[in-house]
Amino acid sequence: MLVLAFLTVPILFPRAQAQGLVFKNSSLVSGTNGQINAVYRFPQVTTNVDALVTITGRSSSQVTLTSIDLTNLGFDKAFQPQVTYNGGTTPNGTSDWWMEFSISFVTATTTNTVNVASFNVTALDIDGNADKINEWVGFYGLNTYTVENNSILQYGSIYEMVNSVNTAVGTKFVGPIANYLNIDTAATSVMATANYLNKNNFRVRTGGHSIGSSGASDRMYSFWFKTFTFQAPVNLNLPVTLQSFTAKLENKKPVLSWVSSVEQQLSHYVIERSTNGSEFSEAALVFANGTSSIASKYSFSDNAMASLNKGMLYYRLRMVDADGKFTYSETRLIKMNGTTTSAGIAIQAYPNPAVNEIRVTLPSGWQEKQIQYDIYAVNGQVMKSMNRQSASQTEVLNISTLPVGSYIIKVSAGTETATERFVKSK
């Protein structure tokens, strides 16, 4: 049965203007240059904010980093990694490769994450070598993107398994084999601009594809954190941009809260519930404002689940526009027998051992607060950090890139902290 719920009164927030960021003068601050988990600091990308760029993955050991940021070509203010495949020459047959970077914003000279209200990233010169190779880039966690009306890029959603659900997590832009000389900001047909709102980190992939042997797989990528003028821009918006989406356990009832910052002809939200993370059913419907450039706040209490005293519940939002098209939010988790008090400040980290992800259930007093997650190796080195401005009861952390071994996860809510040991296995 579909249960109707009513939207709450919208809360108004001013929309932030996208600011330009400057990436230059990088230095290696941890790890081995060019290897997975190497971290580079770009100082003062904006006032009192540094950027930490981490190599988080690559398609194979044949993918290597030539330079984290080229300065003798392109634009000095842009982030310009140079990535090589197979020593610079692609073999016969079809090849596809990539290197992934995670970009985090921190208070200058520290590792304390900080949100940037709004910024744009423009991928310049997504082209080829005029022979058998073409480039592609992937932006993850973006809100909207813009391409030229006569763009020759191919683009579409990137899907990944999130909490065992195949979820759209970004957009991939694929360039032509045709070569555009140098890095030309006027070549708008081979550029794309991604917009991010209220982010302290995001991911980007630099990729390439070849259809045969060619000696130009050493590719340069240019990401300029500013807005460019398109001649006839096509702004491709999601039906809604979520500012936050949290789930908590309150009086033994799952309570969902979300805030939209932009709604584009949005009809309604369908709340979907699952007990296994893969098969979802409709739990409620909440009507939306429709079209709005101001933030709106919504909430829903799943009273039907109040009698469930154990197990895990999975929730997601299906966001439906006026034409019936829809997109999904990320999935949020509720542990029904999770901790309900902050007394003793205990967290639960599981499964243990963990392989690709670890779940952390917070005490009730920490839910919907700003939470800092830090994973330490046994020697005290910080291996991974994440910040949530408004945390759900149970958060999922991706640990797939961590080496096998023992770790300590430290969770902080203001001056309060809690730790838990876990093992990462194959």
- Residue 331 CA to residue 168 CA, distance in Å, equals 11
The confidence score (pLDDT) of residue 9 equals 29
Summarised one tens digit per residue, pLDDT across range 200-256 is: 999 999 999 998 899 999 999 999 999 888 887 765 555 677 778 888 888 888 999
Among the residue ranges 5-19, 47-61, 113-127, the one predicted with the least confidence is 5-19
**pLDDT surpasses 80 at 20:** yes
CATH class of 348-424: mainly beta
The one-letter amino acid code at 88 reads G
Count the Cβ atoms, other than its own, within 10 Å of residue 289. 14
**CA atoms lying within 13 Å on the CB side of residue 39:** 18
For residue 374, what are its two tokens?
A: 């830090």
pLDDT of residue 402: 85
Asked if the 27-226 domain carries CATH number 2.60.120, the reply is yes
- Average pLDDT of span 191-204: 92
**H-only helix segments in 189-292:** none
pLDDT computed for residue 342 by the predictor: 41
Cα-only R_g, the chain:
22
For tokens 């809100």, name the residue: 143
Angle at 398 between CA 374 and CA 193, to 5 degrees: 100
**Token digits of residue 363:** 């005490």
Distances (CA, A) of 124 to 127, 175, 242, 251: 9, 10, 27, 51
Q: What is the mean pLDDT of the segment spanning 413-419?
A: 83
CB neighbours of residue 403 within 10 Å: 10
Q: What is the distance between the alpha carbons of residues 122 and 138, in angstroms, rounded to a whole number?
A: 12
Mean pLDDT of 81-107: 94
Give the largest CA-CA distance in the chain: 65
- Whether 27-226 shares its CATH topology with 252-335 is answered no
CATH superfamily of 252-335: Immunoglobulins (2.60.40.10)
Tell me the mean pLDDT in the region 293-305: 84
Give the position of tokens 């039906």: 239
Taking the C-alpha atoms of residue 402 and residue 404, their distance in angstroms, rounded to an integer, is 6
Domain positions in the chain are: 27-226, 252-335, 348-424
Question: What does the pLDDT read at residue 165?
Answer: 63
Give residue 343's pLDDT. 44
Find out whether 285 and 318 touch, Cβ atoms under 8 Å.
no
> What pLDDT is stored for residue 235 in this prediction?
58
User: Using CA atoms, how far apart are residues 23 and 80, in angstroms rounded to an integer?
Assistant: 9
Question: What is the rounded average pLDDT for all residues in the chain?
Answer: 84
The residue-averaged pLDDT of 352-376 equals 85
Chain centroid offset of residue 84 CA? 25
SS3 state of residue 188: helix
